Amino acid sequence: MRRLFKLMLVLAIMVSTGYALYRIGEETRIVEKLRSPDPEAFRKLAWAELDARQLKPGMPVFIRIFKQSSELELWLKGKNGWELYRTVEICNWSGGLGPKLKEGDKQSPEGFYTVTKGRLNPNSRHHLSFNLGFPNRYDRSLGRTGSFLMVHGGCSSIGCYAVRDHQVEVIYRLVEAALDNGQQSVRVHAFPFRLEQAALDRHKGTKWHDFWAMLKQGYDVFEREREVPRVRVADKSYVVN
109-156 confidence digits (pLDDT tens): 999 999 999 999 999 999 999 999 999 999 999 999 999 999 999 999
pLDDT at 35: 61
- Cα angle at 114 between 68 and 92, to 5 degrees? 30
160-215 confidence digits (pLDDT tens): 999 999 999 999 999 999 999 999 999 999 999 999 999 999 999 999 999 999 99
155 included as an active-site residue: no
- Cα angle at 47 between 12 and 55, to 5 degrees? 70
Model-wide pTM > 0.75: yes
160 included as an active-site residue: yes
1-34 confidence digits (pLDDT tens): 554 444 343 334 334 444 445 566 676 666 666 6
In the chain, what are the domains? 58-240 (2.40.440.10)
Nearest to 172 by CA among 139, 135, 123, 208: 123
pLDDT at 18: 46
Length of the chain: 241
The catalytic position among 126, 127, 155, 160 is: 160
| Phi and psi angles of residue 9, each rounded to the nearest 5 degrees, phi first | -65, -45
pLDDT at 12: 44
Confidence band for 241, pLDDT divided at 50, 70 and 90:
confident
50-93 confidence digits (pLDDT tens): 999 999 999 999 999 999 999 999 999 999 999 999 999 999 99
The catalytic position among 91, 126, 127, 152 is: 152
For residue 230, the number of C-alpha atoms closer than 13 Å in the C-beta half-sphere is 1
Q: Quick check: helix, strand or coil at residue 120?
A: strand
Instruction: Report, as an integer, the average pLDDT of 216-239.
Output: 97
